[in-house]
Amino acid sequence: MAADRRPIAYTLHVAAEPALFRAPPPAELSAALGARFRRRLATLSDAALVELIGDTVFHERKRLGSDGGSEGYGALVDEAARAVHQGDRPALERVGLALVEAYTLEIHNPFSARTYRFATRLMPSLLTRLLSATRPRDLLQGRMDPAARIGLHGPIERLRALSETATLILAPTHVSNLDSPLIGYSLFAAGLPPFAYGAGLNLFNNPAMAFFMERLGAYTVDRRKRNRLYKETLKDYSVEIIGRGHHSLFFPGGTRSRSGRLETKLKKGLLGTGLDAWQQSIAAGRPRDVFVVPCTLSIGLVLEAESLIADALAEEGRQRYIIMDDEFSETRTIVAFIQKLMALDAAVHLRFGEPMDVMGNPIDEDGRSLDPHGHPIDRLGYVCDRHGAVQKDDQRDHLYTQRVADRLAEAYQRDFIAQSTHLAAWAAWRSLAALHPAMDTWQLVRLQGEEATVSRAGVVARIGEAMSRLSTRHTAMPTTAETVLDEALHRFGSYHRRRAIDPVATGLQLTPELVLYYQNRLVGWKELR
């Protein structure tokens, strides 16, 4: 079984700092997005404009009523409602522009090169404490290196080269609110420049976290705003910053995976902005390539696992897009999790996948698009006429973005690095299902005590069988089934109020919903079907 537990292609770049993006001032960005909205207005009939602003009024009033606060939008929404009622186009256009400006100023956070440099010097020691058993004296004397705890994998040298001549869109899997700082530091450690990324509004509730996020490339995404005008403004913002050459990071799954599974159905709204930005750069006579890079993040323990799987299993969980009250909502809970992880030797593994163009084609070392047979193709021919002029075609662009989403989902399954907690949970869940063959998932997760206790020997046997099937897969585990289980038990015992797998006199007692969550990461691997 391939089980290289050391970081691969890892280089910590501090002296050779990448060029830092200079963020435009808010007023400049607001004017740019306002201009985009005005161009869109020219294509809207009176009826379509009334529908657009009416949709905003409906969803904003619904949101503001449930949130119990106006956030300064109450007066604007009331003005929009009056304009819709009167059907006055100039008033509708004015309030539409005012809403776009308000949304833009909420979304945009100015990048600070000074804060970036400070944070990247501070992050190594903080992440070392987060990911390893470290004594304060070791940190002070510089004996601990985060390189020993974060494994970076994939074509990193190639991505460094591409980042100097093209704009990159990083598209990672999403499992925890800790993903953003881990990925942000990993980009720095790999010698890649900072990326802009969308972060949920709830993550800005902590003042200390908000201070850094606002200055390290995070822009604010309020998932409670479901009106079309807000979504269009968010996409316009993404197109604008990509068009200005700022590398960007999207979580195509939209939010953290509730079930623990790798994402298969991806949201294409922001993902398609790379294609838009590329075409607009061609039309402006300043063509700049935009490439999409898959990224999988593997962490052996997930802080919010209990809340996420509970939400996935609950009927009402199917209707919710954001959880406001999970383990990440309280600072003391985060601190407790960090303290527990400090007692572990649990690495984080991040794999960068092979880059592709914005139509889903692979690219070669020189950035040329390739057909399925590996032959170079002219990607301009996909979007331009024979005279080199960009041809607008929304249906075509939708299909290209769908291809990118499909390629990303394939890359997630191919590139994910399994850890001992995933494989032990996979084996334990199958042992439980074999013990109760007449039960479905919903019945199995309700089992407790002796009914949820399985044979240790059976779990070890299933781990061994799986390891023989996964000999060519990316893994980060010990080399024998017994040691895989022992490592997983140690890690599971370090956190969660209830252990996912707990050794008892009669075997292994399971907390079925947690076992289901961790084993779900391997669902989709054909070798384990």
Q: Average pLDDT of 364-390?
A: 94
Q: Which of 78-87, 101-110, 218-227, 346-355 has the highest mean pLDDT?
A: 78-87
Q: Average pLDDT of 257-270?
A: 92
Instruction: Report the pLDDT value the prediction gives residue 185, as an integer from 0 to 100.
Output: 81
Instruction: Report the pLDDT value the prediction gives residue 137, as an integer from 0 to 100.
Output: 44
Instruction: Report the pLDDT value the prediction gives residue 198, as an integer from 0 to 100.
Output: 81
Higher pLDDT, 189 or 351: 351
Instruction: Report the pLDDT value the prediction gives residue 111, as an integer from 0 to 100.
Output: 66
Query: What is d(CA 81, CA 65) in angstroms, rounded to the nearest whole number?
Result: 15
With contact defined as beta carbons under 8 Å apart, do 194 and 187 qualify? yes
- pLDDT for 138 beyond 70: no
How does residue 119 score in pLDDT terms, banded at 50, 70 and 90?
low
Mean pLDDT lowest for which of 80-94, 133-147, 208-222, 325-339?
A: 133-147
Q: How many CB atoms lie within 10 A of CB 284?
A: 11
Q: Average pLDDT of 243-252?
A: 92
3-state secondary structure 304-356: CHHHHHHHHHCHHHHHCCCCCCCHHHCHHHHHHHHHHHCCCCCCEEEEECCCE
Closest Cα to residue 236, out of 282, 268, 272? 272
Q: How many CB atoms lie within 10 A of CB 241?
A: 25
Q: Which residues of 331-362 are buried (b: 16+ CB within 10 A; e: fewer)?
A: eeebeebeebbbebebbbbbbbbbbbbbbbbe
Q: Could you give the angle at the alpha carbon of 235 between the alpha carbons of 89 and 46, nearest 5°?
A: 15
Q: Which residues of 163-190 are buried (b: 16+ CB within 10 A; e: fewer)?
A: beebbbbbbbbbbbbbbbbbbbbbbbbb
Contacts of 316 (CB under 8 A, 6+ apart): none
295: alpha, beta or left? (left if phi > 0; alpha if psi -120 to 50): beta
- pLDDT for 11 beyond 90: no
Sign of CA dihedral 77, 81, 87, 91: negative
3-state secondary structure of 87: coil
Domains and CATH numbers, the chain: 26-107 (no CATH), 149-204+217-328+345-359+366-415 (3.40.1130), 418-528 (no CATH)
Mean pLDDT lowest for which of 256-270, 308-322, 329-343?
A: 329-343
Residue located via tokens 């490439």 = 291
Query: What is d(CA 519, CA 529) in angstroms, rounded to the nearest whole number?
Result: 13
- pLDDT for 71 beyond 80: no
With contact defined as beta carbons under 8 Å apart, do 7 and 152 qualify? yes
Pairing of strands 501-504, 507-510: antiparallel
Residue 303 phi, psi (nearest 5): -55, -45
Q: Average pLDDT of 134-160?
A: 65
* pLDDT cut 90: percent of the chain above it: 61
Q: Average pLDDT of 400-429?
A: 97
Instruction: Report the pLDDT value the prediction gives residue 122, as an integer from 0 to 100.
Output: 62
Sign of CA dihedral 275, 277, 283, 286: negative
Number of Cα atoms under 13 Å in the Cβ half of residue 279? 21
390: alpha, beta or left? (left if phi > 0; alpha if psi -120 to 50): beta
With contact defined as beta carbons under 8 Å apart, do 462 and 501 qualify? no
How does residue 21 score in pLDDT terms, banded at 50, 70 and 90?
low
Contacts of 394 (CB under 8 A, 6+ apart): none
How does residue 417 score in pLDDT terms, banded at 50, 70 and 90?
very high
Q: Supply the pTM of this predicted model.
A: 0.85
* pLDDT cut 70: percent of the chain above it: 78
3-state secondary structure of 163: helix
Distance spanning both ends of the chain, measured CA to CA: 18
Distances (CA, A) of 213 to 91, 198, 209: 36, 10, 6
Sign of CA dihedral 509, 318, 203, 263: positive
Q: Which two tokens stand for residue 95?
A: 């309030």
Run of H or E residues at 457: helix 456-469
With contact defined as beta carbons under 8 Å apart, do 301 and 494 qualify? yes
With contact defined as beta carbons under 8 Å apart, do 383 and 391 qualify? yes
Instruction: Report the pLDDT value the prediction gives residue 143, as an integer from 0 to 100.
Output: 44
